[in-house]
Amino acid sequence: MRILLTGATGVVGTEVADRLHATAPLGLDLVRTARRRAHAPLVRWDIGAEPAPAELTGRWDVIVHTAASTRWTMTRAEATDANIRTLRAVLALAGPDTHVVHVSTAYVGGVRNPEDLRGAEFEGYRNGYEWSKAVCEEIVTTEHPGPTTVIRPPLIMGSRADGRISRFSGPYTLFPALVSGLAAVVVGDPDGYAEISPLDEVADAITAAALGPAPTAPRTEIVAAGGASLRLSTLIEITCDTINTFRAAHGVDPIATPPMVSTDSWNRFFLPLAQQWLSPVQQQAVNLLAMFQSYTSMAEPFEPTRPVRDPGEVMATSVRHWAHSKPRQALATPSPWTLVAAQG
C-alpha cells in the first residue's frame, strides 16, 4: 500500500504519520512531504510553487492532504495560493483510483452570524481560510474521479490522554493572553457553542479513512461534540481554573476570570474606545482575540459523524500540558490594561 502524506511536519500531519506507522499493515510505503527543508525520509516539496519531486511520481493508493495555511488574516489571493493552488498540485499526482483524504475545517459548515462575516470578498465565509477550504472541498469532491473523503475538524486541542501537541498555535494564544492580562475581557455569547476536538481523535479519523475501505461516493466526516459542546463561559472557566490550579501549586496568586461582553456591545461601544486609548500592544491583543469571537460563541453546534465526548476534559488536559510546557507564561504576573493618550 503506497500512501502520500502532505504537511507531514504540521500539527495534524505529525500525528497522522505516527498513527500510520503504528497501525498500518505490513508493506506500507508511506511517503511524507514538507514545505520547508526536511531531512530524510521526508521529501521537501513547496507544493504549488515548484514541480513535484521525482520521488512523488508513480501510482498512489491513498493521498492524505493535510498541508494548508490556517491563517485567518489571509487575503483572497493569499488563500488561493496557499490552499487552492496547492490542492490542485496534489490532485495532479492522484490517479483515477487514488483515495484522496482531504483535511478541511468544520467551519466550512455550520451557522455563521452576520457580524462574523467580512464582506463580499469571502462569499459568506468568515475569512480567507474558510473560503479557500470551501472551494477546496468543491474541487476535490467534483473534479477528482476517484474516491474522496473530507475530514472536518473544529478547533484542535492536545491529545486527550496528556494534552500533547507539537505546536501551540490557534486557540493556545488565548492562554498567555488570559495570564498576562491582555485578555481583560472575553468578547462573545456566554452561552454560545465552542467546538473543540483533541488532536488524537482528529488523527484517528484521518487514519481510519486512509486505511479503511474507500467510499463509493464522496464522504464527509465531521469531528465535533455537537450538543455536548462546551459553552464559551464554561470554556473560559475551565481554562482559568486549570491555570490557577497550576499557579497555586507553585505558590503564585491566581488570575481573575475576565468579564464577558457581547459582540454587539464590544463592537459598538468598547472597541472604538480601545482603538483610541489602548497601547499598541494591547490593541494587537484585542485584534488577535477578536478573531476567536465567532469560533467560540456559535449559535448552533455542528452535527458530528464522529462525536467528541467530554470536551471539558480535553480542554483542561490541554491547558495543563501548556502550563507545564510554558511555566514562565503560565506563572507570569498579570498587567492590567492602562490607557494612553490618543495620538494626533
Task: Please give the average per-residue pLDDT across 24-30, as a whole number.
Answer: 82
Contact status, residue 93 vs residue 56, Cβ threshold 8 Å = yes
The pTM score is: 0.91
Looking at the chain, the number of H-run helices and the number of E-run strands are 12, 14
Give the per-residue pLDDT at 115.
62
Assess whether pLDDT exceeds 60 at residue 340: no
pLDDT in tens, 92-118: 999 999 999 999 999 998 776 666 656
Give the per-residue pLDDT at 38.
63
- The upper half-sphere exposure of residue 50, i.e. CA atoms within 13 Å in the direction of its Cβ, equals 9
> Which of 21-30, 78-87, 251-260, 265-274 shows the lowest per-residue confidence on average (mean pLDDT)?
265-274
Task: Please give the average per-residue pLDDT across 46-74, as a whole number.
Answer: 93
| Residue 32, beta-bridge partner list | 5
Give the per-residue pLDDT at 73.
83
Give the per-residue pLDDT at 83.
96
Give the per-residue pLDDT at 344.
37
Closest CA to 74 of 132, 134, 139: 132
DSSP symbol at 162: T
Assess whether pLDDT exceeds 70 at residue 341: no
- Residue holding cell 500510520? 20
Q: What are phi and psi of 12, to 5 degrees?
A: -75, -45
Give the per-residue pLDDT at 264.
77
Assess whether pLDDT exceeds 50 at residue 342: no
Task: Please give the average per-residue pLDDT across 213-229, as a whole number.
Answer: 97
Give the per-residue pLDDT at 328.
97
With bands split at pLDDT 50, 70 and 90, how would you rate the model's confidence at 133?
Answer: very high
Assess whether pLDDT exceeds 70 at residue 288: no
Most confident of 23-32, 69-78, 266-275, 306-315: 306-315
Contact status, residue 54 vs residue 27, Cβ threshold 8 Å = no
Closest CA to 175 of 337, 310, 332, 298: 332
Task: Name residues whose C-beta falls within 8 Å of residue 143's C-beta, 6 or more positions apart in sequence.
Answer: 91
Cα distances (angstroms) measured from residue 135 to each of 33, 80, 142: 23, 9, 11
Give the per-residue pLDDT at 143.
95
Closest CA to 165 of 319, 308, 20, 295: 319
> Which of 59-73, 235-249, 252-266 shows the lowest per-residue confidence on average (mean pLDDT)?
252-266
pLDDT in tens, 145-195: 999 999 999 999 999 999 999 999 888 989 998 998 877 778 888 999 999
Task: Please give the average per-residue pLDDT across 63-79, as a whole number.
Answer: 93
pLDDT in tens, 291-303: 677 788 888 999 9
Give the per-residue pLDDT at 343.
39
Q: What cell was used for 77?
A: 489571493
- Residue holding cell 505529525? 14
Residue that wins the pLDDT comparison between 226 and 270: 226
With bands split at pLDDT 50, 70 and 90, how would you rate the model's confidence at 40?
Answer: low
For the chain, what percent of residues have pLDDT higher than 70? 89
> Which of 44-48, 58-62, 95-99, 268-272 shows the lowest per-residue confidence on average (mean pLDDT)?
268-272
Rounded Cα gap, residues 78 and 71, in angstroms: 10
Q: What cell was used for 304?
A: 458530528
pLDDT in tens, 244-285: 999 999 999 999 998 888 877 777 777 777 667 667 766 666
